[in-house]
Structures are given as C-alpha cells and as structure tokens.
C-alpha cells in the first residue's frame, strides 16, 4: 500500500510541476484531469520555495518531484506555497543534505511585521 501511495504522490507531483510550468493553461488542464472544480491561477510575481537557496530558481526535476511527493505524503496535498507555509519538511530535507534551507515567511517579513493580507 505504501508503494501505491508513493506512486500516486510521484504522479501527482509530476502533474503539479507541469501545471506550474505551463501557468494558467496548465492549472486548467490539471483541474480537468483531476476533476477539481476550478484551477487556481498562480500570481505572476509569486515567490516559490525553489527561488531561495540552495536552488536559486533552478531545481532538478527529480529533486522537485521528491520534495513534492514528501509534502503529499505528509500533508495529503501539495501547493507551490506549501513549503513556505510549512517549512519544517523542507528544512529537514536541506539539513539532511547539508544545504541551507529557504527563509520562512516570518524571516522574510522581518521582525514585528505581521502576515501579508490580500487587499
């Protein structure tokens, strides 16, 4: 059963990666393929976890899929901002590989600044 779950997580991670790369059209295709009611459209200036160190905007597809699969395994879902909202898994991933983990939301905001709220 664990292999079935892992295979499903890897398949889902690959589908999410393709959708993210394709933008709004990709999200629409993903929504249709997975039967979701409406696909989210990522903001054009969205900051993603792989923009930070150690990846600096360039991550190997195998590593991306493995990280996404780990998030799906732990949280039952994946969204591009999930590692920024729930960084413990990503920090452990980086630490296990001797790499510097990306900053958390609060570290990026700075001291004394609350979370960003959509207008």
CB count, 10 Å around CB of 119?
Answer: 3
pLDDT digits (tens, 9 = 90+) for 18-59: 887 888 787 777 777 766 555 455 554 446 788 877 888 888
Q: Is residue 52 part of a domain?
A: no
Please write the tens of the pLDDT for every residue from 51-80: 877 888 888 888 889 999 999 999 999 988
Q: Is residue 51 part of a domain?
A: no
- Its pTM stands at 0.48
Token reading at 119: 């207008």
Q: What is the DSSP letter of 86?
A: S
- Total domains present in the chain: 1
Among residues 29, 1, 13, 2, which one has the least CA distance to residue 72?
13
- 7's enclosing H/E stretch is helix 2-22
Domain residues for 66?
A: 2-41+60-100
């Amino acid at each position: 059963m664990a292999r079935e779950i892992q295979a499903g997580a890897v398949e889902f991670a690959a589908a999410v990666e393709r959708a993210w790369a394709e933008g709004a059209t990709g999200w629409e295709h993903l929504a249709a393929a997975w039967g979701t009611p409406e696909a989210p459209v990522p903001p054009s200036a969205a900051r993603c976890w792989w923009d930070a160190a150690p990846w600096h905007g360039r991550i190997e597809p195998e590593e991306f899929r493995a990280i996404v699969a780990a998030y799906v395994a732990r949280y039952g879902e994946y969204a591009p901002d999930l590692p920024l909202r729930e960084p413990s898994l990503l920090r452990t991933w980086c630490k296990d590989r001797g790499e510097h983990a990306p900053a958390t939301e609060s570290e990026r905001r700075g001291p004394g600044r609350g979370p960003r709220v959509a207008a």
